[in-house]
Amino acid sequence: MPPYKHIRTTIIAVCVLWAWLIAITSCKSNTNTGNGTGQEAISLPDTLHVGTLYSPMSYFIYREEQMGYDYDLVQRFGSDKGITIDLHVAPSMASLIQMLDSGIIDLAAYEIPITSEYRGHVLPAGPENTTSQVLVQRKPSKKHPGITNVTQLVGRDIYVENASKYQQRLINLNNELGGGIRIHTIDKDTLITEDLIEMVSEGKLPLTVVDSDIASLNRTYYPDLDISLPISFQQRSAWGVSPKSPWMADSINSWLNDTERKKSRSRLHKRYFELSKVSPAVNINFSSGRISPYDDLFRKYAAEAGIDWRLLASQGYAESQFDTTVISWAGAKG
Pairwise CA distance, residues 138 & 145, whole Å: 10
Of 192, 191, 157, residue with least CA distance to 174: 157
* Distance separating the N- and C-terminal Cα atoms of the chain: 91
Of 204, 141, 207, 221, residue with least CA distance to 173: 207
Phi first, then psi: give them for residue 157, nearest 5 degrees: -100, 125
Lowest-confidence region among 15-29, 94-108, 150-164, 220-234: 15-29
Q: Looking at per-residue confidence, does 8 or 237 come out higher? A: 237
Per-residue pLDDT of 78-129, as tens digits, reads 999 999 999 999 999 999 999 999 999 999 999 999 999 899 999 999 989 9
Q: Give CA separation, 58 vs 52, 100, 244, 275, in Å.
A: 7, 17, 25, 16
The mean pLDDT of 302-306, rounded to a whole number, is 82
In the chain, what's the furthest Cα-to-Cα distance? Answer: 116
- State the Rg of the chain over Cα: 29
Q: Looking at per-residue confidence, does 98 or 189 come out higher? A: 98
Pairwise CA distance, residues 58 & 239, whole Å: 11
| Burial call 231-269: b when 16+ CB within 10 Å, e when fewer | bbeebebbbbbbeebbbbbbbbbeebeeeebeebbeebb
Confidence of residue 33 (pLDDT cuts 50, 70, 90): very low
Per-residue pLDDT of 231-268, as tens digits, reads 999 999 999 999 999 999 999 999 999 999 999 889 88
pLDDT at 274: 78
The CATH code of domain 141-211 reads 3.40.190.10
Confidence of residue 6 (pLDDT cuts 50, 70, 90): very low
Q: Which CATH number fits domain 47-131+236-273: 3.90.105.10, 3.40.50.2000, 3.40.190.10, 3.40.50.720?
A: 3.40.190.10
Specify the domain boundaries for CATH 3.40.190.10 within the chain: 47-131+236-273, 141-211
The mean pLDDT of 207-217, rounded to a whole number, is 95
pLDDT at 29: 44
pLDDT at 4 over 70: no
pLDDT at 329: 47
Rounded to 10 deg, the angle between the 69-81 and 259-273 helix axes is 150
